[in-house]
Structures are given as C-alpha cells and as structure tokens.
Amino acid sequence: MKLTTKGRYAVTAMLDLTLHNSKSAVSLSEISNRQDISLSYLEQLFAKLRKRGLVVSSRGPGGGYRLATDAKSTYISDIILAVDESLDVRRCKGKANCGKHGTCCITHDLWNNLTGQIQDFLDNISLADLMDTDTTAIAGS
C-alpha cells in the first residue's frame, strides 16, 4: 500500500466537508482555499466520491457538496477506496503467486496479515471519530 496524495487529499477534503457541513452545502472552492488543494483536483476526487455514494451535490446558488450519510457512517477506508487507492500491501494482491514459480513467497502471511490490520484499522475510523480529535490544523479558518 502506498497512500498517495489522492487518498490523503480525499480524506482531508471529506473531513473539511464534515466540519463545515452545518446547514448548507459546501463548495469545493471553499475546501480548496482552506486546505490548499487544487480545485481541479478536488473536482476529480469528488466525482469519484459522488459516484460511490459518499457525497451528494447540488447546483446553483448555495450549491456544493454534503455528506450522503452521517459522519458516523462514513469510514476512512470507504473514502480511500472510493478514489481508487489500494489498502493492499501484498505484491500479489492476494493471489498467492508472489513467490518463485507462482507459489506463495516466504513473507506472504506477513503482508497478508498487515493488509488485514490496515483494512481493519481504517474500517473502524469514521469521520465522526476524526471530528472528536483535535482538528484545529485541519479545519482551517
């Protein structure tokens, strides 16, 4: 697993959306300004997040994005997977053909267990959980 800017920015933007999603939709330009993430990059990420049902959008004056469900039901793993990031550290991606002649490599079980632990960890952290931590640096102004 290599968490790229795509996954990190998606989580950051979703947390920003959660923190500023009180009564009206949040525009991507607001998130862009607060988090210093390119607007065009956010548009690409939010298209994927919308397609996966994590956010809903509205057009026109006052338009923008809202969470599709509550923050307690939106998990970090869902966000990362929605933007096509992998949580898998196994070279074989679970096919068990990572060793010589298509067999399991000698460290397959180690990487298999690590992949499971990463998945479990991120499956159990919601946006609401992140809001309960110190989000001063994330929230911006």
Helix or strand holding residue 80 (H, E) = helix 76-82
Per-residue model confidence as pLDDT tens digits over 38-70: 999 999 999 999 999 999 999 888 789 999 999
* Those residues with Cβ within 8 angstroms of residue 129's Cβ, 6 or more apart along the chain or in another chain: none
What is the pTM for the complete model shown? Answer: 0.84
Q: Which domains does the chain have, with CATH numbers?
A: 5-87+126-139 (1.10.10.10)
Per-residue model confidence as pLDDT tens digits over 74-112: 999 999 999 988 888 877 777 777 777 777 888 888 988
56 and 68 in contact (C-beta within 8 Å)? yes
Contacts from 128-132 at CB under 8 Å and sequence distance 24+? 128/18, 128/70, 128/71, 128/72, 128/74, 130/15, 130/18, 130/76, 131/15, 131/18, 131/19, 131/71
Per-residue model confidence as pLDDT tens digits over 112-123: 899 899 999 999
Between CA 127 and CA 58, with CA 25 as vertex, the angle to 5 degrees is: 115
